Structure 1
């Protein structure tokens, strides 16, 4: 679905060139995969997401989305039809005064027949469990509900892949839970390829793969269990680990025979019961 080859990107400010924000990134993301990207602020993860959607083009190297090179400006809308993007602030993504009109915005710009637009809007709102709010004003919704409407607007475009750039960063715990459950549903049930960029480690535990970025490079990757078991290495990069993993790690350092690959409360409880 996505392939990056020797990818470099540098922001320019006037005539001055800044250091590379991406520094030789190579990666492949398969169709249907759920990949989480983590890293501290400035590590390059959001920059990478914007190259995946064609918002930026590489300074060097290339990135290909579903067979289309993002440097091909004539194909930029084809790229964005295949790879939709959801940003941090839901208020910045809502363009209409009624929920269903907002979700219809993308399909309308594709020039689709009105019957097809109606079908796509209803289907997308049903997928994110927001059908009951379709005639509501977006500013009357909670943060989590607004973000789900933003996701519905992308779904109505029928993308094969959705890139989430810290979509829960501005939400309260309840809104975060709503959005994370929606993301997981889209991947597992709708078979959409998901790239989820986050600084909340617990949002990564159900991913197929976790990528860790630092200074514009991918410095670690593997399954959530493989990555989060490296507690000391992650801390050295300024990152946390899921709370359950941290508790397991501390128990292990105290001499208990507990795996530090536990990611959920149920896994840790099962381990402690085994030891008792």
Structure 2
């Protein structure tokens, strides 16, 4: 399967407020993401996950090592435009990405900057808004939308640029549960139906359950990696890192401590119900 992202021995250094103090935000990181894969990166604040996301979009360049996006090295300045077209990025606050006063004009902004012909832009805008379920709002002002709706418009703006990969840096952090569900349903649909590679940076454990792979970061290092079942079965280790697990997984963990025989890798309510019904 084709590699979409390769992070090879990447270290990133930055200076703290104390000019003499250099901090390693990333420490010899190695990651591969294949085309069409859905990867979630979790970790608490300061773990390095957002720094890593900015490397994939060439917003930051490695101090050591290399980042490749569809075979393009982010250190090569002449590839920056192509890299950002290939790996679109959605940030935490949609207001920072919305630039127009009308929804359809905002979604058209990216393709216009790529030099896409006007007839093609109209087609892309309509398709992108349909994909995120926001076509009926095309003539509305973004300021009239909810947080979840604004984030879906921000995602539509990225989709309209026809990226092969979308990097989402805590896209649901500012949303209520309903908005989070809408945005995550949209992201999963893009991955499943459009085969768009997704790299989702989050601190909501439930968002990682349906990923192909979960990567756990701590202090600039990758400390755990595997399928959601493999990672979240290590409840004690995750709690030691100060991280939560999906609520139903945590419930199973507590019940096991009370002597109830349940599997370690329960991830959903349906799985929990099935296992409890099988108990004698």
- State if a TM-score over 0.5 links the two structures: yes
Deviations along 1:46-90, one digit per CA (max 9) or x if unpaired, are 000000000000000001000000000111010001000000001
Partner residue, 2:262 = 258
**How do residues 204-243 of structure 1 correspond to structure 2 at under 5 angstroms?**
204-243=208-247
Provide the rounded CA distance (Å) in 1 between the counterparts of 2:185 and 2:48. Answer: 26
Could you tell me how far 1:186 is from its partner in structure 2? 0.8
Corresponding residue for 1:2? 5
Normalising by structure 1, what TM-score? Answer: 0.98
Does the aligned pair in 2 maintain the 1:35–1:208 contact within 8 Å?
yes
Aligned to 1:185: 189
2:16–2:23 contact (8 Å) kept in structure 1: no
How far is 1:17 from its partner?
4.6
Alpha-carbon distance in structure 2 between the residues aligned to 1:86 and 1:16:
33
* Residue of structure 1 equivalent to 2:23: 19
Aligned-pair distance for 1:13?
A: 5.1
RMSD value, Cα: 0.9
The answer to whether the Cα contact below 8 Å between 2:12 and 2:62 also exists between their aligned partners in 1 is yes
C-alpha distance in structure 1 between counterparts of 2:54 and 2:77, whole Å: 15
TM-score, reference length from structure 2: 0.97
**Unpaired segments of 5 or more residues in structure 1?**
none
1:156-167 matches, within 5 Å, as 156-167=160-171
- 2:137 is matched with which residue: 110, 113, 133? 133
Q: How far, CA to CA, are the matches of 1:134 and 1:234 in structure 2? A: 43
* Residues 138-157 of structure 1 aligned to structure 2 (within 5 Å): 138-157=142-161
CA contact (8 A) 2:15 2:23 kept: no
Aligned residue pairs total 276
* Matched-pair contact (CA < 8 Å) for 1:8–1:24: yes
The secondary structure found in structure 2 opposite 1:259 is coil
Q: Could you tell me which of 243, 267, 270 is aligned with 2:271?
A: 267
Moved over 2 A (4+): 12-18
For the structure 1 residues 17 and 57, does the alpha-carbon distance in structure 2 shift closer, same or farther, using more than 3 Å as the test? farther
Deviation at 1:20, TM superposition (A): 0.5
